[in-house]
Structure 1
């Protein structure tokens, strides 16, 4: 990467937004600059100039995806504070957002970035997975009572809820079965609400 990158510009921001919409629809696994540039009204040369390299463009796209994620989390955190919502209630709201068909492209991109950061930890995806885990845990633990969120049991509870949400999302993206995955997630969260001290696993009736 060169030492001097061009400063942010309106054109760079515009192309980043267009490229972001493109990868939300087409993914980034086999991202090629030529078809991307053609689709967004630019050229590979311009993209390389504005983003320094293909890796730089990928980093910018992942940062853009994370910005959407953080905006969502901020909205949910604010709503939870206003309503004094507990962990199961906030997790239900999170799942409703995850299950919305309008968000499939973004979430598929998120899963792709998550997986690539594990298989290519030194590439432009570096740190994406660990950062998003911490982002979501911060939201979930913020809904717990203070004495619980700082405890081992409280962290285990938030981690279990995150695992249920993430697992349900992966299943939903793979199968498109909204009814089954929503029923499974809702059942776990209902049991968690009824038995809040059982932090690590669903309660069996």
Structure 2
């Protein structure tokens, strides 16, 4: 192989490696969550929570999450969104049965928020900033951030133990990757 061919081959490999995080391994089960800070890519886990993933995709495709705030953000724990009222008390109006698994809550895990009843998950979800083993087996895991956690880290934190945010960040847009590729 000539020197020029080696350089071209190396350049092509570098371009492919740099572009890799932008492509979804499974576009139908990948979300693009756009924040003011950048894009967060979430791999959904229908193997763990098929009903939750189906409902999240339904809500995403309807535009439900676009413009919603991260109303509850606790530094070192998680950022929560998905309430159209912005108070932490609202939802889409359709509760889901819990789909608990052995999947641990680690940095970047996306879980379904709920009230005291384990079958009260609706539209609110959270992204963990750090491991939260005390949630394991008690909340439904339906996804994992695969890139863009640095943007999640920038979401404005709330005050006090409730984590309610005075001037919250918003979801600019959230899309199923397959829908973006189809356009």
Fold shared, TM-score > 0.5 on shorter chain: no
More helix by share: 1
**RCO comparison, higher one (Cα < 8 Å, 6+):** 2
Bigger Rg over Cα:
1
Structure with the larger strand share: 2
